A and B are shown apart, each in its own frame.
Chain A
Amino acid sequence: MVSIGAGVKEPGSTRQNKTGSWRTFKPTLDKETCIKCVNCYMFCPEGCINKDYDIDYDFCKGCGICEVECPVKAIKMERE
């Protein structure tokens, strides 16, 4: 059963698709070192780092942008 015109009335429903399974390298964020510069939050293509600097591993694809953009090297990518 397809909705009329294949419209979707559940906003944000791609959240059902946990893209974390795509990941090869996993970022870990050291909150002690973190200076809360918002770089990782701003530059995440998934929007899966929040302003409390928690990473949502359900969706993190492991692209590594956050590690590169962290000015104090608080984020490390490690093979899972």
Chain B
Amino acid sequence: MVTKVMSANQAIAEAVKLANPEVIPVYPITPQTTISEYLAKYVADGDLDSEYIMVESEHSAISASLGASGTGVRVFTATSSQGLALMHEISFAAAGLRLPVVMADANRALSAPLSIWNDQQDSISERDAGWIQIYAEDGQEALDSILMAYRISEDKNVLLPSMVCIDGFILTHTVDPVNIPAKEDVNKFLPKYKPDHAYLDTKKPMSIGTFTDPSYYMDARYDMELAMERSQEIIAKAHTEFSEIFGRDYDFVEKYRSEDADVIIVAMGSICSTIKDVVDELRDAGEKVGLVRVRVFRPFPKTQIYEALKGASKIGVIDKNVCFSIGGVLATEIRSNTGLDVSGFIVGLGGRDIKPSDIKEIMEKTKNPTKQTQWIGLKKEEH
């Protein structure tokens, strides 16, 4: 166990090294690229024994991942934005074939107009694909979440792929101290992947990716729904055991000074660090405000979110995505799943800076709601 200063991308690469997938198909895209580069270097230096395939597109990166996972080995891939959108078709297949692929997504805006900067539209747009989605707040959590993702996805009660999302540039290209667990501890936490539902073994031939008529398809999809529901329990177990072995605690949602708060802000990802600072500042000034950070977005932890929010009189939900004519996706889902009245705020699209003053503005607007959804941080002279 060592602590080193590194970017979240490097932290993810370190996690992958510890999880030791047999096959790593990747394709470069900003701001994910350095994950691919670190892994290439580990393999080149003999520090990681994996088949590293630099494919010709993200579509092929996810396709090769499915091929390798279908063969029966552990795989890793990473992408961002346009790359994830290009993977869209095969993302559904990954979940439908019940292949426990683990992927890192460096959250970045979707074109057009073209932007290489951060928001969460890319992964949010994959919310219906059948993947487990985890949004990390910092590099440490990114590393830990990759290890937990394998543990969850490969569990026989789940067998769904996982996506670990980190905010592009804000996390991928800034450094923080990160504790790298010892390999022996990781081996304790993460047993070898030995599938008995999907493998390509000439000794016991099976067919993967069959054609279903209407008498089977719907039931197969329902099984995915059940697996997603069951994953709640497996995730909770993973959190507990992770804490026991590594001493770091995680939950579906993180409650930050929200227990007695009148006003609660809900958000996902790195923005929560800024919000925590603002919460501290306002708490010092005597305001009863708090933060609820949604860490696991799929399966959607409706009960945990409801329990965390039910005591507040005002709730503001921050989204770095937009579902046009509806609002932010997190706000919409919280509204429809908890029945709570929440104000929605769209922020930070395409890397628009989110300052503590913006968070304070959101707090104020949450206290005095005028609209269901408001865009914060637009250039004032133009709107």
Contact = CB atoms under 8 A, between A and B. Distances in A.
Interface string B209-242: 1101000100110010000000000000000000
B379 interface: no
Interface in B187-213: 197-198, 204-210, 212
Interface stretch (A7-15, A29-37, A54-62, A65-73): A7-15
Interface in B82-137: 96-99
A11 B220 contact: no
Contact of A9 (B206, B219, B220): B206
Interface in A16-56: none
Interface residues of A, number: 10
A58 B65 CA distance: 40
B216 A5 contact: no
A7 B210 contact: yes
B203 to A, nearest CB: 11
A8 B210 CA distance: 8
A5 B219 contact: no
B75 interface: no
B159 interface: yes
Contact of B206 (A1, A2, A8): A8
Contact of A2 (B198, B209, B219): B219
A7 B71 CA distance: 13
Nearest to B216: A2
Contacts of A6: 96-97, 209-210, 212, 216, 220
B210 A1 contact: no
Interface of B: 96-99, 159, 197-198, 204-210, 212, 216, 219-220, 223
